[in-house]
Amino acid sequence: MNCRECLDHLYEFLDREVTPELERDIRSHLEDCPPCDEQFDFEAVYLKFLRARCRTQGAPAELKHRVLRELFGE
């Protein structure tokens, strides 16, 4: 596997959407290729950051009450 092929699968790999064979090939390329490894790490940090920043918000309590009232009349 060359760098181009490895980077083509970057997000699929981080999203755990690759086959076990492809995952093995990517891991073995990353072990031998520090620049690709660094880029994978950077993107992994980014995705983790996105999830952490965007999931703090939940439905307001008032909305939940409103839904319950509308559905079950309470």
Cβ-based nearer residue to other proteins, 21 or 60: 60
How far from chain centre, in Å, is Cα 31?
Answer: 21
Candidate residues 5, 15, 21, 31; the one interacting with other proteins per rule CB under 8 A: 15
- Give φ, ψ of 53 to 5 degrees: -75, -30
Burial class (CB in 10 A: 0-12, 13-18, 19+), 13: buried
CB of 44 to other proteins, least distance (A): 9
Q: Which of residues 34-63 bind other proteins (CB under 8 A)?
A: 38-39, 41-43, 45-47, 49-51, 53-60, 63
Total Cβ atoms within 10 A of residue 40: 21
* Residues engaged in binding other proteins (CB under 8 A): 11-12, 15, 17, 38-39, 41-43, 45-47, 49-51, 53-60, 63-64, 66-67, 70-72
